[in-house]
Protein backbone atom coordinates (compact mmCIF):
# COMPACT_ATOMS: atom_id res chain seq x y z
CA UNK A 1 0.00 0.00 0.00
CA UNK A 2 2.82 2.39 0.87
CA UNK A 3 4.52 1.69 -2.46
CA UNK A 4 1.37 2.55 -4.39
CA UNK A 5 0.90 5.76 -2.41
CA UNK A 6 4.54 6.78 -2.90
CA UNK A 7 4.32 6.05 -6.62
CA UNK A 8 1.14 8.13 -6.92
CA UNK A 9 2.75 11.08 -5.12
CA UNK A 10 5.82 10.90 -7.38
CA UNK A 11 3.67 10.80 -10.52
CA UNK A 12 1.67 13.82 -9.35
CA UNK A 13 4.86 15.80 -8.70
CA UNK A 14 6.30 14.91 -12.11
CA UNK A 15 3.07 15.91 -13.84
CA UNK A 16 2.91 19.20 -11.97
CA UNK A 17 6.48 20.13 -12.91
CA UNK A 18 5.94 19.35 -16.59
CA UNK A 19 2.71 21.33 -16.74
CA UNK A 20 4.39 24.32 -15.05
CA UNK A 21 7.08 24.40 -17.74
CA UNK A 22 4.49 24.25 -20.50
CA UNK A 23 2.44 26.99 -18.83
CA UNK A 24 5.53 29.21 -18.54
CA UNK A 25 6.24 28.84 -22.25
CA UNK A 26 2.60 29.56 -23.06
CA UNK A 27 2.65 32.71 -20.92
CA UNK A 28 5.81 33.98 -22.60
CA UNK A 29 4.31 33.32 -26.05
CA UNK A 30 1.17 35.21 -24.95
CA UNK A 31 3.27 38.21 -23.83
CA UNK A 32 4.97 38.37 -27.21
CA UNK A 33 1.70 38.09 -29.15
CA UNK A 34 0.05 40.71 -26.94
CA UNK A 35 2.97 43.07 -27.54
CA UNK A 36 2.62 42.66 -31.30
CA UNK A 37 -1.15 43.25 -31.19
CA UNK A 38 -0.81 46.38 -29.06
CA UNK A 39 2.04 47.77 -31.18
CA UNK A 40 4.53 47.75 -28.27
CA UNK A 41 6.79 45.35 -30.20
CA UNK A 42 8.13 46.00 -33.66
CA UNK A 43 8.33 43.12 -36.13
CA UNK A 44 12.13 42.65 -35.72
CA UNK A 45 11.79 42.67 -31.93
CA UNK A 46 9.01 40.08 -32.04
CA UNK A 47 11.06 37.94 -34.43
CA UNK A 48 14.05 38.05 -32.07
CA UNK A 49 11.92 37.13 -29.04
CA UNK A 50 10.29 34.23 -30.89
CA UNK A 51 13.69 33.02 -32.04
CA UNK A 52 14.94 33.07 -28.44
CA UNK A 53 11.86 31.13 -27.36
CA UNK A 54 12.60 28.45 -29.98
CA UNK A 55 16.18 28.23 -28.71
CA UNK A 56 14.91 27.79 -25.15
CA UNK A 57 12.51 25.04 -26.23
CA UNK A 58 15.32 23.25 -28.06
CA UNK A 59 17.58 23.54 -25.02
CA UNK A 60 14.87 22.03 -22.81
CA UNK A 61 14.29 19.22 -25.29
CA UNK A 62 18.01 18.45 -25.49
CA UNK A 63 18.31 18.43 -21.69
CA UNK A 64 15.41 15.97 -21.31
CA UNK A 65 16.58 13.75 -24.17
CA UNK A 66 18.68 11.44 -22.00
CA UNK A 67 15.99 11.27 -19.30
CA UNK A 68 17.90 13.26 -16.68
CA UNK A 69 18.15 17.03 -16.42
CA UNK A 70 21.39 17.73 -14.58
CA UNK A 71 21.74 20.68 -12.19
CA UNK A 72 24.05 22.38 -14.70
CA UNK A 73 21.44 22.03 -17.47
CA UNK A 74 18.71 23.22 -15.14
CA UNK A 75 20.73 26.31 -14.21
CA UNK A 76 21.46 27.07 -17.87
CA UNK A 77 17.78 26.76 -18.80
CA UNK A 78 16.77 28.99 -15.88
CA UNK A 79 19.28 31.67 -16.91
CA UNK A 80 17.95 31.60 -20.45
CA UNK A 81 14.34 31.93 -19.23
CA UNK A 82 15.26 34.93 -17.07
CA UNK A 83 17.14 36.51 -19.97
CA UNK A 84 14.15 36.03 -22.31
CA UNK A 85 11.74 37.55 -19.78
CA UNK A 86 13.98 40.57 -19.24
CA UNK A 87 14.49 41.06 -22.95
CA UNK A 88 10.73 40.90 -23.53
CA UNK A 89 10.20 43.56 -20.87
CA UNK A 90 12.94 45.79 -22.32
CA UNK A 91 11.56 45.53 -25.85
CA UNK A 92 8.01 46.24 -24.73
CA UNK A 93 9.09 49.34 -22.80
CA UNK A 94 11.70 50.88 -25.12
CA UNK A 95 9.29 53.51 -26.55
CA UNK A 96 9.47 52.08 -30.06
CA UNK A 97 6.04 51.39 -31.45
CA UNK A 98 4.87 49.66 -34.55
CA UNK A 99 2.51 51.69 -36.66
CA UNK A 100 -0.69 49.69 -36.92
The pTM (predicted TM-score) of the whole model is 0.72
CA dihedral 35, 37, 40, 44 (to 10 degrees): 80
Yes or no: say if 91 and 35 are a contact pair by the CB < 8 Å rule: yes
User: Considering only 13-22, 46-55, 57-66, which range has the smallest mean pLDDT?
Assistant: 13-22
**How far is 89 from 92, CA to CA, in rounded Å?**
5
Model pLDDT, residue 13: 65
Task: Quote the pLDDT of residue 95.
Answer: 85
The CA-CA-CA angle for residues 35, 39, 37, to 5°, reads: 55
Distance in angstroms (rounded) separating the CA atoms of residues 18 and 21: 5
The answer to whether 35 and 46 are in contact (CB under 8 A) is yes
Confidence band, pLDDT 50/70/90 cuts, at residue 25: confident
Whose CA is closest to 96, among 51, 31, 43, 42?
42
Please give the torsion angle defined by the CA atoms of residues 82, 84, 85 and 87, in that order, rounded to the nearest 10 degrees: 120
Amino acid sequence: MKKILAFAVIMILIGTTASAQVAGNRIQRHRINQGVRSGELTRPEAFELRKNQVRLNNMQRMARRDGVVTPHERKKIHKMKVHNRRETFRYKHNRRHRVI
